[in-house]
Amino acid sequence: MAEPGRKTLRSWRRLERSYALVHGRLEEALKSQGLPPLLWLRALEEFARCGEDGLRPFELQDALGLEQPAVSRLLEKMVGAGLLNRTECQDDRRGWRVAATPLGAETRERMAVAYTDALSAHFLAHLGEKQARALDEILGDLLESAGPADG
Amino acid sequence: MAEPGRKTLRSWRRLERSYALVHGRLEEALKSQGLPPLLWLRALEEFARCGEDGLRPFELQDALGLEQPAVSRLLEKMVGAGLLNRTECQDDRRGWRVAATPLGAETRERMAVAYTDALSAHFLAHLGEKQARALDEILGDLLESAGPADG
DNA sequence: CGACATTGGATGCAGAAGCATCTAATATAG
DNA sequence: CTATATTAGATGCTTCTGCATCCAATGTCG
């Protein structure tokens, strides 16, 4: 392994700091509008993506890359908040099928608006179109190469 | 605000995922070698950067961008682990002065090696030199522009 | 000097993440 | 069919973070 150069090492520090900065601002924006945290948006988007019949918890776990107990508790809260409903799963009585309620769909839309606005203000506004494309490409390659099994 | 394009939005998602992926692997690498978490390395680096007389807790807080209670507890643990020592602060009897012990310095070095190795394996190896420089530049601009007060 | 505001730091408490464990149901092997 | 292994999901425990509060020392203003 060649000695990594200074700029090369620095790029990771900057990625860390950029992530922390922007992520913090996004969460802040949602909270300030009385909306749930980002994770809930990710979940609601998964439910929007799938059909009427909803998802099994383990499918959501897979899609979001969470630990199983995290999903269990996330769903518990989202059901409690009226955004999702659980129905017993007919073909596998160990599990459940979970789907978004109308309130869940509406919340997803409100969160998406707040999210896009905040992202525009705190990320995209500081990035040229060209830089955004370059980032997209570089990180796309990275994810593909490093991806789940470290390529 | 212009409508953000798909790739533009996607660049943020990819940054998030890249961060989570690599950060997770770095922590994992440290843990697997029986070393403390990344945050401790950041702290030890600050102590290495400053002189013999060490740092006041609030200076570390500033340098690492943490909440005050987090610093308080971090120092408590690191002192407990023998990596730092606290001395009473002569010119301000509210506070303390904290500095790295020899064990702290040695731990910093071991962590730095493990860190650099893991970063090389899980980040740099998947990135050309050119891409790393491009990332460094783009994110440098972003941080400067979005920086603490949202520029 | 004495009253009040500010600052350095510690601590109590609630919410979230990771880890191990536990249960019920299903799948597999004999 | 019975015994075992595997899978879906819940729950307890510990650790960490964020938030609010608290204490003590310092600074400021009359």
Q: How big is chain B by its Cα radius of gyration, in Å?
A: 19
Given a cut of 90, whether residue A101 has pLDDT beyond it is: yes
Mean of the per-residue pLDDT values of chain A: 92
Q: What is the pLDDT of residue A58?
A: 96
Interface test with A, best of B10, B23, B38, B139 (most A CBs within 10 A): B139
Question: What does the angle CA A117 – CA A18 – CA B27 come to, to the nearest 5 degrees?
Answer: 125
Q: What is the pLDDT of residue B2?
A: 56
Q: Give how far B91 is from chain A: nearest CA, Å.
A: 34
Given a cut of 80, whether residue B50 has pLDDT beyond it is: yes
Of A19, A126, A145, the CB nearest to B15: A19
Q: Which of residues 112-151 of A touch strand D (CB under 7 A)?
A: none
How far apart, in whole angstroms, are the C-alpha atoms of residue B9 and residue B131? Answer: 20
Q: What is the pLDDT of residue B3?
A: 65
The percent of residues above 90 in pLDDT, for chain A, comes to 85
Q: Give how far B67 is from chain A: nearest CA, Å.
A: 13
The percent of residues above 70 in pLDDT, for chain B, comes to 95
Q: What is the pLDDT of residue B110?
A: 96
CB A25 within 8 A of CB A122: yes
- How sure is the predictor about B151, in pLDDT bands with cuts at 50, 70 and 90? low
Contact A8 B126 (CB under 8 A): no
Q: What is the pLDDT of residue B52?
A: 86
Given a cut of 90, whether residue B18 has pLDDT beyond it is: yes
Q: What is the pLDDT of residue A23?
A: 95
- How sure is the predictor about A52, in pLDDT bands with cuts at 50, 70 and 90? confident
Q: How big is chain A by its Cα radius of gyration, in Å?
A: 19
Given a cut of 60, whether residue A1 has pLDDT beyond it is: no
Given a cut of 70, whether residue A151 has pLDDT beyond it is: no
Given a cut of 90, whether residue A138 has pLDDT beyond it is: yes
What average pLDDT does the segment A76-92 reach? 94
Cβ neighbours around A99 below 10 Å, total = 17
Please state whether strand D lies within 7 Å of residue A69 at its CB atom.
yes
Which of chain A's residues have a Cβ under 8 Å away from the Cβ of B15? 15, 18-19, 22, 135, 139
Interface contacts (A, B; CB < 8 Å): 153
What average pLDDT does the segment B27-49 reach? 95
The percent of residues above 90 in pLDDT, for chain B, comes to 85
Q: What is the pLDDT of residue A3?
A: 65
* Protein residue with the closest CA to the C1' atom of nucleotide D18: B67
Given a cut of 80, whether residue B15 has pLDDT beyond it is: yes
Torsion angle (degrees, nearest 10) of CA B108, B114, B117, B119: -80
Q: Give how far A54 is from chain B: nearest CA, Å.
A: 24
How far apart, in whole angstroms, are the C-alpha atoms of residue B150 and residue A124? Answer: 12
